[in-house]
């Protein structure tokens, strides 16, 4: 496993990290989730990402129980806030940051969160209030560094323009061969300002594994076939996208890789990406995906893959 510096922080995160959206505490049985977590540590993964809203606290609770026997300095723990935790609890107000941070610390059974992230931008709270509250969270010792997820470039710049506040070190966008939107504005802005990307859905929620046949229903046991985990995949499960993904398999084989490894290596080719967050329901997936770290792939193979996907998405 290779490691990369997270923005301007002193954190060194594994190129492949383990996420818990729709999986741990929700869609994956506890024993399987524990096996995946064990496999992650065995492969050298040191970065675990979650959020308070995943299972309304269930993912954080699972991780708190699962990680408490491990040395605290053996992993970097990231969580988020913004989405509703109750009918009255949501957003990035100072009150919510203080309340949700303490709740996350309790569920995760730790004294400090290494990376505390704004899950989305809060249009209902002044940015100055949010950044001041995050700055106090860092000063209190409860948070080491701060980041954001899916903020537009103009909001990122507005935060950078504020003085006297703690600076963001990470951005968490969706980014993959089938979703390249961050390349336009977010990645260049972040790269120029010491902010790294930690990418969610680098395999297009499993579509870039190549396991979905455009002419057949999703296989039993896969995310797309799961009522709990498959509800966000409609855009990626289009036949034209699935057919294009099938065309990537020979290119991956030419590189000597599985398709998931090829797709993860494509994400990691971007220097501003510090880590690609994988989701896994089986340890074998963790092991296979971890082997994408440190790979050197012929750029021409990546360009061929991009052309195939771009053509499919343009139609």
* pLDDT at residue 233, rounded to an integer: 55
How many alpha carbons fall within 13 Å on the CB side of residue 175? Answer: 28
* pLDDT at residue 232, rounded to an integer: 53
The alpha-helical segments, DSSP class H, found in 176-258 are: 186-191, 239-246, 249-254
Tens digits of residue pLDDT in 190-200: 999 999 999 99
Reference 66, options 40, 95, 102; nearest CA is 40
Cα angle 252-186-118, degrees, rounded to a multiple of 5: 105
- Could you identify the residue written with the tokens 């050197």? 296
Cα angle 257-291-39, degrees, rounded to a multiple of 5: 135
Cα angle 212-22-268, degrees, rounded to a multiple of 5: 65
Cα angle 193-197-199, degrees, rounded to a multiple of 5: 165
Burial letters 177-198, b for 16+ CB under 10 A, else e: bbbeebeeebbebbbebebbbb
* pLDDT at residue 229, rounded to an integer: 47
Reference 66, options 43, 34, 41, 35; nearest CA is 34
Give the gyration radius of the chain's Cα atoms: 19
Which residues, given as ranges, of the chain have pLDDT below 70? 215-235, 237
Give 40: exposed, middle or buried? Use CB within 10 Å, 0-12, 13-18, 19+: buried
* Token representation of residue 15: 């190129």
- As annotated, the active-site residues are 54
Indicate the pTM of the whole model.
0.92
The alpha-helical segments, DSSP class H, found in 68-185 are: 94-108, 127-139, 153-161
* pLDDT at residue 26, rounded to an integer: 73
* pLDDT at residue 237, rounded to an integer: 64
* pLDDT at residue 223, rounded to an integer: 54
* pLDDT at residue 297, rounded to an integer: 98
Q: What is the distance between the alpha carbons of residues 106 and 314, in angstroms, rounded to a whole number?
A: 47
Tens digits of residue pLDDT in 161-203: 999 999 999 999 999 999 999 999 999 999 999 999 999 999 9
């Amino acid at each position: 496993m290779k490691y990369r510096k997270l923005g301007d922080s002193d954190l060194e995160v594994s190129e492949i990290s383990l996420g818990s959206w729709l999986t741990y505490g929700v869609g994956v049985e506890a024993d399987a989730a524990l096996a995946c977590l064990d496999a992650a540590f065995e492969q050298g993964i040191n970065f675990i990402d979650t959020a308070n809203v995943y299972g309304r606290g269930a993912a954080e609770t699972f991780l708190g129980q699962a990680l408490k026997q491990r040395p605290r300095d053996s992993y970097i723990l990231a969580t988020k806030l913004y989405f509703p935790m109750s009918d009255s609890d949501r957003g990035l107000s100072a009150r919510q940051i203080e309340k949700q941070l303490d709740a996350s610390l309790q569920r995760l059974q730790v004294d400090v969160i290494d990376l505390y992230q704004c899950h989305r931008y809060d249009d209902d709270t002044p940015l100055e209030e949010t950044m001041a509250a995050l700055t106090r969270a860092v000063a209190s010792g409860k948070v080491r560094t701060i980041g954001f997820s899916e903020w537009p470039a103009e909001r990122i710049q507005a935060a950078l323009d504020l003085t006297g506040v703690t600076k963001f070190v990470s951005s968490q966008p969706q980014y993959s061969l089938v979703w390249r939107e961050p390349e336009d504005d977010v990645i260049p802005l972040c790269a120029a300002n010491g902010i790294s990307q930690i990418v969610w859905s680098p395999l297009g929620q499993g579509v870039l594994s190549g396991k979905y046949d455009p002419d057949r229903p999703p296989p039993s046991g896969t995310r797309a076939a799961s009522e709990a985990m498959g509800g966000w995949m409609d855009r990626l499960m289009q036949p034209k996208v699935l057919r294009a993904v099938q065309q990537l398999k020979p290119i991956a084989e030419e590189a000597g890789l599985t398709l998931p490894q090829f797709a993860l290596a494509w994400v990691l080719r971007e220097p501003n990406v510090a880590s690609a967050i994988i989701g896994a329901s089986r340890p074998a997936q963790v092991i296979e995906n971890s082997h994408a770290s440190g790979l050197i792939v012929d750029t021409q193979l990546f360009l061929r893959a991009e052309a195939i996907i771009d053509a499919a998405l343009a139609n």
